[in-house]
Amino acid sequence: MVEDTLAPYVIEEARSSRSRCRTCRKKIEKGKLRLGILLEGPYGTGYLWHHLTCAARRRLEDVEAAYAQPAFEKGLKVPALEKLQALQEKAEKERADRKELPYVEKAPTGRSKCKRCGAGIEQDSFRVVLAREVAFGSQVRSGPINVHPKCVAEELDTEDCMTEVEGFGEALHAHSGLDAATVDAALAEIGSLG
């Protein structure tokens, strides 16, 4: 009953317009490149399909594994893996830009500065992103600012700060996308908030 002839991944041009992309939920038009990920479930074995580009944005590890296999026939025109990796990076950045405030992250570089004290934020140390009121001409909007954990209490106390003390810890847990222990470690560095 095990169909061990099926490869874990397949990349091909959709043979019909009947499959649906598991990432974007839209139809995969006939002829479009699709990635199939083998699923062995209680009801049998089969491929779950994704647009190749959708898969690159959301699950690049699978795309990389499929290219390494390789999961496509010689002669099939597939985009260079670097192109798909670039798609993923762009999507990642867009997701980060859409992140709800406040959140905490590990500073990816040592180049950012704390908006409260002006000092640099060390690479790999916690960087807390809060909302501060920013005026664009006559418009007032809230924009993200980076601060040190130890500068959070002071920033939350200012009038321009749009992040509230109330529920701060819960919001940080909900928005950061990190495991609870890591967020708790950041909260410990932040200390008590008035």
What is d(CA 128, CA 105) in angstroms, rounded to the nearest whole number? Answer: 6
Task: Mark residue 134 as left, alpha or beta (left: phi above 0; alpha: psi -120 to 50; beta: remaining).
Answer: beta
Which of these segments, 32-40, 74-82, 107-115, 159-167, binds Zn ion (CB under 5 A)?
A: 107-115
CB nearer Zn ion, residue 116 or residue 173: 116
What is d(CA 68, CA 62) in angstroms, rounded to the nearest whole number? Answer: 10
Which of these segments, 47-55, 62-70, 94-102, 134-142, binds Zn ion (CB under 5 A)?
A: 47-55
Residue 24 engages Zn ion in binding (rule: CB under 5 A): yes
Amino acid in the structure at residue 103: Y
Total of residues contacting Zn ion (CB under 5 A): 10
One of 116, 127, 132, 173 touching Zn ion (CB under 5 A): 116
Residue 127 engages Zn ion in binding (rule: CB under 5 A): no
The helix (run of H) or strand (run of E) holding residue 154 is helix 152-156
Amino acid in the structure at residue 12: E
What is d(CA 91, CA 80) in angstroms, rounded to the nearest whole number? Answer: 17
Closest alpha carbon to 161 in 147, 175, 177: 147
Number of H helices, E strands in the chain: 6, 6
Residue 29 C-beta: closest distance to Zn ion, Å? 10
CB nearer Zn ion, residue 145 or residue 151: 151
Contact in structure between 56 and 84 (CB atoms under 8 Å): yes
Residue 57 engages Zn ion in binding (rule: CB under 5 A): no
Residue 21 engages Zn ion in binding (rule: CB under 5 A): yes
Residue 180 C-beta: closest distance to Zn ion, Å? 25
Helix (H, G, I), strand (E, B) or coil at 4: coil
Hey, how many other C-beta atoms are within 10 angstroms of the C-beta on 164? 12
Which of these segments, 6-14, 72-80, 132-140, 146-154, binds Zn ion (CB under 5 A)?
A: 146-154
Residue 152 engages Zn ion in binding (rule: CB under 5 A): no
Which of these segments, 24-32, 72-80, 100-108, 136-144, binds Zn ion (CB under 5 A)?
A: 24-32
CB nearer Zn ion, residue 1 or residue 106: 106
* Residue numbers at the binding site for Zn ion (CB under 5 A): 21, 23-24, 51, 54, 114, 116-117, 148, 151
